[in-house]
Amino acid sequence: MVEFLLPGLNPDVNQSKIIFIRSLKIKEKHMKEEKIISFGEYLDRVKKDPQIVTTAHQLIYNAIMKKGVEKVFGELYGIDSVIEEVVDYFGKASLGGGRSKRFLFLLGPPSSGKSTIARAIAWAIDDEPIYCIEGCPIRDQPIYLLKRRDRLALAKELGIYLPEGDICPVCRKRLKTEFDYDYTKFKVKIDKISVRSFNGFASVDPTDPMSFDKARLIGSVTLGEKEGNPDNFELDGAILRGNRGALELVEILKNLTEALYVLIEATQSKTIESPAGRTEKIYVDLAIISHSNEAEWVKFYSDKKNEALLDRMHVINVPHNIRLDDQIRVLKGMSIATPRQSLNYHVNPLSLKLVAAFTVMTRLQIGGETDADEALARMLAYNGLIAEGSDATPATLMKQYPRDGWQGISNRDGAEILEMSLSMKQSDKEMCIDPISVLDAIDKFISQDTNKKFSVKEKANWPPLATILKKDFAREAAKQFCTIAEESTQLCTDTFEKYLEAIRNLLNRVELNDQQKDLVTYVENGWRDKSDDEKNDKRSDISRHIHSFTEASEDMKTGVYNYINSTVIIDVISRLLLSEQELTSLDKQNDWLNLDQFVKEKFEKLNYCPKCLRRVAHWLKDNQKFP
């Protein structure tokens, strides 16, 4: 066993050696799993389980179905219809029809999830077993060794479809020189797809179109050697590395179009030219997953010379997510860079909601300040909150606004706003992404000069969106504070009795103190347009007929709630943040102090930390944002 390589190991002393031992064990395990069987045994297995002979599209579709769509694409939110189209593509392509002769092309704005979809597919097939010819540099299907007539006979016997295809030039030479045309002498290897090792998977990044070499896709020939000899072929091109699995073409349209013509034959006839360019074709079986942004697509699509490539594409649109709840989930899953790389920071739920809402609203078709309210309503409608009396649905809205999701800021921009809200001045103990800092960060993001990628017209729509978000945030945050007053029954009762005492003093021409004046102003907020005589008439009526808080009108109750929030609750919150020494010096007989624990428990349930609780409370009070 590998343990004897390092005798006397003490795990408590040298952890690096433990890691080394474990890596050797893993390697030893994989070596044991790499089984080599005879071709005859392979055929017996095929007869018992024909599913071991799978095309690349079948392999991917089966892997997605086995692991579950939600698990495979679990990091993607708000683009459910896109995921359905992707799965449907592989489902139909696995049947071997016309869909399998087109490569997948994901089209959408930057950071909409195209690369994530491609990599999710790749990781779905990672570690999936495949049967291949032992010694074949491109992992050919062993079934290709059968002559076509024998393959057809076996397919008829088993009542299944066996893929067409042929062995590569290297295996063909071995068949002639090493095995004297006896294909049964070939061995079969049970291999596995490996994304990290680029075994059955490959990825091609965009390069300068003028320097793109087709050899990156099909391989090359050893210099100075006879080009027609397969032994001199470097079968390491991306298409050949991805054979039996998948090939990802990143930002495909940024490459020279002529260099991509190899994809036409790779999808239509499942062949590519050999690196020598003069000998036989090489059969390939792989799923090609490409993606690009809209700007390159518009240019590519308008060029008539690209019709052949367009005909080989199966295009799926991948717009930005425009569902608020899903965008919050996206932001939760993104990595946020923090000052001093601290991992201990708090994120208020309203902070995430603000950034998510701003992100989504920038992605909607709007035409100016008057559309900001409508954009907010549309965002909520996409999230399932349809306004009363409206017959709009997400489906009808998408038809009415087809560009929704094709513009606006990316998920990366949203993460940048969250990062901007974390001040370098914050101490490690109070690192917090609070809603007020987020509002400031949104304003800063709008005004900064680094947003060159957005048009002046598009950016002009953002300030009204930020304004409407501040108003909406104020309403929601104020409601959270107001519920404290509503749940403080005794405090509401006592406060209303103080109001009744104050209006009796007014009716008796007794001067009010400042606290009483504030109380009357809050409770009678809806009477601002009335004359003093009209106000006194109402006060007289209230004094005679209303004797308790429960009998008060809803407007008056709201006034009481607002008064409590703006004076009592804010004061209690301030006291909660005082040190123990400062707190003991306060008047213990103050009735408001018995609210301390109640307020603290209430906001802890809402996931407030002391810092964001303080900032939100004082912002609401300073800006008079209580409803």
Q: What is the pLDDT of residue 554?
A: 87
Question: What values do phi and psi take at 528, rounded to 5?
Answer: -55, -30
End-to-end alpha carbon distance in the chain: 73
Determine whether 392 is exposed, middle or buried from the number of CB atoms within 10 Å of its CB (0-12, 13-18, 19+).
Answer: middle
Separation CA 578–CA 570 (nearest Å):
13
Assess whether pLDDT exceeds 50 at residue 2.
no
pLDDT, tens digit, 9 for 90 and up, residues 263-281: 888 998 999 988 876 667 8
Q: List, in order, residues 6 or more apart from 458 with CB less than 8 Å away.
A: 362, 407, 408
Q: For the beta carbon of residue 394, count every other beta carbon within 10 angstroms.
A: 15
Separation CA 113–CA 205 (nearest Å):
16
Question: What values do phi and psi take at 454, rounded to 5?
Answer: -105, 145
Read off the pLDDT of each residue in 498-519 and give the average, rounded to a whole number: 90
- The rounded radius of gyration (Å) of the Cα atoms in the chain is 35
DSSP sequence for 386-410: PPTT----HHHHHHH-TTTTSSS--
Structural contact between residues 285 and 269, judged by C-beta atoms closer than 8 angstroms: no
Per-residue buried b or exposed e for 401-421, using 16+ beta carbons within 10 Å of the residue's own CB:
beebbbbbbbbebbbbbbbbb
Question: What values do phi and psi take at 319, rounded to 5?
Answer: -75, 170
Q: Of 278-292, 307-321, 323-337, 360-374, which has the strongest mean pLDDT?
A: 307-321
pLDDT, tens digit, 9 for 90 and up, residues 318-356: 999 999 999 999 998 876 655 555 557 888 999 999 999
Q: What is the pLDDT of residue 594?
A: 59
Q: For the beta carbon of residue 235, count every other beta carbon within 10 angstroms.
A: 21
SS3 state at 202: strand
Q: What is the pLDDT of residue 226?
A: 57
The tokens for 203 are 């990825």
Q: What is the pLDDT of residue 325?
A: 94
Residue 287 belongs to what H/E stretch? strand 287-292
Q: What does DSSP say about strands 103-107 and 287-292: parallel, antiparallel, or unpaired?
A: parallel
* Percent above pLDDT 70 for the chain: 83
SS3 state at 302: coil
Assess whether pLDDT exceeds 60 at residue 11.
no
Say which residue, 1 or 419, is predicted with more confidence.
419
pTM to 2 decimal places: 0.79
Q: Of 322-331, 430-439, 580-589, which has the strongest mean pLDDT?
A: 322-331
Residue 462 belongs to what H/E stretch? helix 462-487
Read off the pLDDT of each residue in 511-515 and give the average, rounded to a whole number: 89
SS3 state at 42: helix
The tokens for 594 are 């018995």
CA angle 48, 50, 55 (to 5 degrees): 155
Q: What is the pLDDT of residue 559?
A: 87
Alpha helices in 105-242 (DSSP H): 114-125, 148-158, 169-177, 215-218, 238-241
Q: Of 142-146, 147-151, 259-263, 486-490, which has the strongest mean pLDDT?
A: 142-146
Amino acid in position 243: N
Determine whether 510 is exposed, middle or buried from the number of CB atoms within 10 Å of its CB (0-12, 13-18, 19+).
Answer: exposed
Separation CA 624–CA 474 (nearest Å):
9
Read off the pLDDT of each residue in 474-483 and give the average, rounded to a whole number: 83
Separation CA 435–CA 353 (nearest Å):
9
Q: List, in order, residues 6 or more apart from 408 with CB less than 8 Å away.
A: 109, 320, 359, 360, 361, 362, 363, 364, 458
Read off the pLDDT of each residue in 405-428 and give the average, rounded to a whole number: 82
Q: Residue 578 — pLDDT band, cuts 50, 70, 90?
A: low
Say which residue, 413 or 595, is predicted with more confidence.
413
